[in-house]
Amino acid sequence: MTEQDKQKALRVAVVVSTIVLVVLVIWVVTKQGPTQQPQTAQGQLAEPEQPATPAEIPGEPLKTETGLFGGTRTSLREVIAGARTWGPGFTSWLGQPAPDFTVSDLTGKQHTLSDYRGQDVMLIFWAAWCTPCKMEVPDLAELRKTVGEDKLAMLAISYISPLNTMEMVKKFVADNEEINYSIAATNSSTMPEPYKLVNQIPCSFFIDAEGKIKLATVGLLHLSDIKAILQAE
């Protein structure tokens, strides 16, 4: 082979190698796909697709029902799980119709539970000697200022005993002028079950607008606890 033939063969080899390399690069790019974001018709980068929000997902609609204090309701189970200074009581009565009764408050006004049908009711069982009961008074007074009587009835019942006489109850109320909710004092024997079975205080019963026992609590309730229970469904 002459020197001219050698150079010609070398040029052919270079051309063939270049073609093979170009074909290989095109094949690799095609397999991987484009790496840049898609473009709009105007040539600008398109916004990445956003995940669907709950409101856009078909199925059960979002809960928008509001409670006594506004905002979305939470579950009663969650409220109970977060309790720190109290616990649920009389659990077998939950969801049951609240037994009716009538008591007179310290002003002589009669209160019949069934008269409050259509609004929430909070019954508070307490005694003048009970320290946690005394600690609840400011929060109960604030609650009464926050919610109108047409939406929430509040009745604090104190059972008369040698350690908690009528005179002691009246003196406690007189000494605590911030009390702005109804106070009644009676013998436990005059009350139906489950109220007459209360033997730990403070104890509260939350009764819904349908007259059913929503929850009973044993222990100290703070204002935030009371609001959460009233708000819960």
User: Considering the domain boundaries, does residue 53 fall inside one?
Assistant: no
Which pair of structure tokens corresponds to residue 113? 């539970």
What tokens appear for 174 in the block?
């007189």
Whether 49 has a pLDDT exceeding 60, the answer reads no
Q: What is the 3-state secondary structure (H, E, C) of 67-94?
A: CCCCCECCCHHHHHHCCCCEEECCHHHC
User: Reduced to 3 states, what is the DSSP secondary structure of residue 72?
Assistant: strand
26 and 106 belong to one structural domain: no
What letter represents residue 4's amino acid?
A: Q
Between 21 and 149, the higher pLDDT residue? 149
**What is residue 74's predicted lDDT score, i.e. its pLDDT?**
84
For 8-22, 60-74, 119-133, 155-169, which range has the lowest pLDDT when averaged over its residues? 60-74
Residues 96 and 203 grouped into a single domain = yes
Considering the domain architecture, whether residues 100 and 15 belong to the same structural domain is answered as: no
The residue with tokens 């709009």 is: 40
Question: Does 123 map to a domain?
Answer: yes
As a whole number, mean pLDDT of residues 140-154 equals: 96
Q: Are residues 26 and 80 in the same domain?
A: no
The predicted model gives 165-189 an average pLDDT of 97
The CATH number of residue 105's host domain is 3.40.30.10
Residue 52 lies in a domain: no
Backbone angles phi, psi at 171, to 5 degrees: -65, -40
Amino acid letter for position 143: L
Structure-token match 């189970």, residue found = 77
Question: Average pLDDT in the 211-231 region?
Answer: 97
Decide if 61 is inside a domain. Answer: no
Residues 28 and 85 in one domain: no
Range of the domain at 10: 1-32
- Other C-beta atoms closer than 10 Å to the C-beta of 104 total 13
> pTM, whole model, 2 decimals?
0.71
Is 64 contained in some domain?
A: no
Tell me whether residue 39 is in a domain.
Answer: no
Q: Is residue 185 part of a domain?
A: yes
Q: What is the pLDDT of residue 15?
A: 52
| Tokens standing for residue 29 | 């790019």
Residues 218 and 163 in one domain: yes
Domain membership of residue 56 (yes or no) is no
More confident of the two residues 68 and 62: 68
Whole-number mean pLDDT of the chain?
A: 81
Q: Is residue 39 over pLDDT 60?
A: no
Please count the structural domains in the chain. Answer: 2
Same domain, 5 and 107: no
Residue-wise pLDDT for 80-124, tens only, equals 999 999 999 999 999 999 999 999 999 999 999 999 999 999 999
Indicate the residue type of 107. Answer: T
Residues 101 and 164 in one domain: yes
User: What is the maximum span of the chain, computed from C-alpha positions, in angstroms?
Assistant: 133
